[in-house]
Structure 1
Amino acid sequence: MEAKVTIGIPGRWQSWPDLMQEVAEKSDGYVLAGHTLYDTKRELGFGLDVYEHDPHLMEAFTYASRTTLPQGLLEELRQHACTVYVTAEVGSFEGLQRLVEAGAALLRAGGMAVLVETAALAHTKDAWEELLQEDELLPFYAAFVALSGDEDGYSSCGMKAFGLPDARVPATLAPEEAVVVLNGFNMYRIADQPIIEDGQTVSFDDDSSYSTHWTEDDRYETDHAFYNPFGMLWVEPVQHGIWGRMKGMLKN
């Protein structure tokens, strides 16, 4: 199974011909053909849609960046003429690298910034360009996977980009512990690619163990950008020495 991951890139392109010309001249090997952004070097196509000016786009970027984007960029985003949305069926590290390259091509052609629609994460041009130089998993994980919490627990959003279920931990964990467990468990699954069956107990550090339970992703409707078709893995601590050690270090 593969899942669709979508990124949005606003720009000042005033028309379709303007966008086509800028991409052809400045993207270094990409062209627009109908509703496809085509990588002529690798012979890969990405789904493409263009939407006119969105008066709420700046607010979306502000939320997705957790208010870390420079104010100057936010003001620039207010002046965008349209937003180009690129969709790829990924599910692997290599697939994400190709999508990042496609996004960078649009940035070179006049794009302002990147919004990962499938996880509500915003990135500046410079941050996105830095991903092109990365061959490690962690920066890509941070770029495509977000964490959030509610009264029922804490969960990740965006693991479908790696072809994996999202993870959820109970609200009984402290927020700091939830972050450690979710990130550790997710990176363990991406890097080691273990086969985790429903009801299995797993360990991804020296002396911690967790029971797992698979469910459908019932947080969102199936057509929602955040919905994960691979489902959700509930992660319940059985023995969590990693957090105990960290708390001991903090006390000292």
Structure 2
Amino acid sequence: MENTQLVIGVPGTWKNRTEIIQAIASKSEGFLMAGNIILDSQTNKEYQVEVYDYDSTLSDAFSNACRESLSKDVLTKINNHTHTLYVITDVRHIEDVINVVGVGAGLLKAGGIAVKIENSGVAHSKEVWLELQNNHEYSLIYSHFVNIVGDKNLLYSCGMQFFGLPDVITRSSLATKDAADLIDNFNLYNLVERPSIKNGETFSIGKSTPIMKIQLSNDKRYDKDNLFYNKFGLIELREKKEKSKFWKILNRK
């Protein structure tokens, strides 16, 4: 399976780079920073890190990405940040993503305020991220890393590349919430079961829900150098009235 890049951003109010290094060493519970590397001292795995100075647009970026889950107090703290640490690493399966959860948790314990997943546009508070560190259920990892974007006419997911899988897009006549549920259920089914999927096959999440025809394609939503680009492609779900080969109900928690 090919690797793909995952980037998370963690802002904080550290005074300078020296304070960042000291805070990580003393408070992160197992991580060390040297140069542009963060080291997990328990596994010896290295992660690339870049340190950026204050960004006046960062609070708005977190606000747009947090699904209204960040309080005004947290957004104010983000607006008053001094530096942001961007952790960059290659992932290929869910275990790698879980390891990134651990890195993010370490940086939060070392003074970070919140976490934003740059490749899918999702942000989480410190409390939510630390809870995720202790619960690695597939549905929770998925829901924290994958974003559903679009409008009533077109919805698609962003972030399935972290698991080595294509994203899903649909232009169905379903209500927005139902279309989002369809995408979530398909993505979770694909993540958990890893079925062999071919063009023309069908999928449904229930006996009374529409039958969707599967169309595989390359990701034409973004340029190849865009962080949101999915090298594993897209799965388009189109409504079709026939018996479905795949019938699976997986509820997003």
Q: Deviation of residue 109 (structure 1)?
A: 0.6
List 4+ stretches of structure 1 deviating above 3 A. Answer: 202-209
Partner of 2:168: 167
Q: Deviation of residue 28 (structure 1)?
A: 1.4
Q: Deviation of residue 206 (structure 1)?
A: 5.1
Partner of 1:100: 101
Measured in 2, the distance between the counterparts of 1:218 and 1:143 equals: 24
* Partners of 1:207 and 1:240 within 8 A in 2: no
Q: Deviation of residue 171 (structure 1)?
A: 4.5
* Partners of 2:152 and 2:176 within 8 A in 1: no
Q: Percent identity?
A: 34
Q: Which runs of 5+ in 2 are unaligned?
A: 244-253
Q: Deviation of residue 207 (structure 1)?
A: 6.6
Partner of 2:199: 198
Partner of 1:224: 226
Partner of 1:47: 48
Partner of 1:245: none
Indicate whether 1:8 and 2:6 are aligned: no
Q: Deviation of residue 204 (structure 1)?
A: 5.0
1:101-148 superposed Cα distances (whole Å, 9 cap, x missing partner): 000000011101001111111100000000011131111111101111
Instruction: Specify the code of the residue in structure 1 equivalent to 2:237.
Output: V
Q: Deviation of residue 212 (structure 1)?
A: 1.1
Measured in 1, the distance between the counterparts of 2:42 and 2:198 equals: 39
Instruction: Specify the code of the residue in structure 1 equivalent to 2:228.
Output: F
TM-score scaled by structure 1?
Answer: 0.90
Partner of 1:91: 92
SS of the residue corresponding to residue 13 of structure 1 reads: coil
SS of the residue corresponding to residue 14 of structure 1 reads: coil
Measured in 1, the distance between the counterparts of 2:241 and 2:70 equals: 39
Q: Deviation of residue 197 (structure 1)?
A: 2.1
Indicate whether 1:215 and 2:217 are aligned: yes
Q: Deviation of residue 12 (structure 1)?
A: 1.1
Measured in 2, the distance between the counterparts of 1:207 and 1:68 equals: 32
Partner of 1:124: 125
Cα 1:147/1:240, change in 2 over 3 Å = farther
Measured in 2, the distance between the counterparts of 1:240 and 1:43 equals: 52
Measured in 2, the distance between the counterparts of 1:68 and 1:127 equals: 9
How many equivalent residue pairs? 242
Measured in 2, the distance between the counterparts of 1:9 and 1:106 equals: 7
* Partners of 1:167 and 1:232 within 8 A in 2: yes
Q: Deviation of residue 69 (structure 1)?
A: 1.1
SS of the residue corresponding to residue 24 of structure 1 reads: helix
Partner of 1:33: 34
Measured in 1, the distance between the counterparts of 2:37 and 2:230 equals: 24
Q: Deviation of residue 33 (structure 1)?
A: 2.4
Measured in 2, the distance between the counterparts of 1:216 and 1:225 equals: 16
Q: Deviation of residue 198 (structure 1)?
A: 2.8
Cα 1:196/1:207, change in 2 over 3 Å = farther
1:44-71 superposed Cα distances (whole Å, 9 cap, x missing partner): 1112111110000000011001333111
Instruction: Specify the code of the residue in structure 2 equivalent to 1:218.
Output: K
Instruction: Specify the code of the residue in structure 2 equivalent to 1:230.
Output: F
Instruction: Specify the code of the residue in structure 2 equivalent to 1:131.
Output: L
- Say what the alpha-carbon RMSD is for the aligned residues: 2.0
Q: Which runs of 5+ in 1 are unaligned?
A: 242-252
* Partners of 1:7 and 1:114 within 8 A in 2: yes
